[in-house]
Structure 1
């Protein structure tokens, strides 16, 4: 009986330990289920967050692509405008260089003509000066001739007057 009591006590203790173990196992099972549910909820939440973030990132990437496309289009337009302006500027520089070259050519021609005309003018001035001197000489000679002719005319008049007087005297005598 003592052994039976000991066994019963032992059995009660084992049963108690089994119950405690069963409770611990049940608690662990409940805790495991809770962990599993929490893990599943966390996974679902993480999936939802990741999905939402992926959606946001996709939308943001699309916006950035749109902005990049607009910037690329603007850059292409500006590049084309710059290329056009550069071409226009180069054409203007070329035209300016050609005009400058023509101007220099005209300046050289004008300088040559100016020198030629200046030399010709000097020659004409010298000729006019020579002609003027000759003309003055001729005028002086003519004036001298006229003076001499006037003197001769005066002499002839005087002689004529004398001859008339003589003729009048001869007439009176006759």
Structure 2
């Protein structure tokens, strides 16, 4: 069911206040990874990750329309969502910047479909690229989880523009 409603009344909407309000929501931090047809690997940092359904197992994440990696993730059949652990802020930083090879010097293994799974993560989800929905200035990706693994340890969080963790102090 896809119900469309009239547009919201956003006249005079304060986008700075919107960003400030969104920053109050603590999120986990992920690195989405995939393998290209030429055998090279790509990845990006994303905090827009959430569950959608248990049956079938679906998750979602989003990527900005202006992102250079949008065609890569739109065109590949599979990707892995790596949920970073508390000690992996360096990976969040590395995959949030453009570099020639962000995988250089990073430990990872390959999934059954050849997608890179980062070592030391709190969890990972290998997904079939099921569907994409353009909304606003982003594309929402829905992935059907084909395989996943959890490694109970503190997760990396992002809140009010800063990194933290679920680790008890």
Is the TM value for this pair above 0.5? no
TM-score, normalising length: structure 1: 0.12
Higher relative contact order (CA 8 A, sep 6+): 2
Higher helix share: 1
TM-score, normalising length: structure 2: 0.12
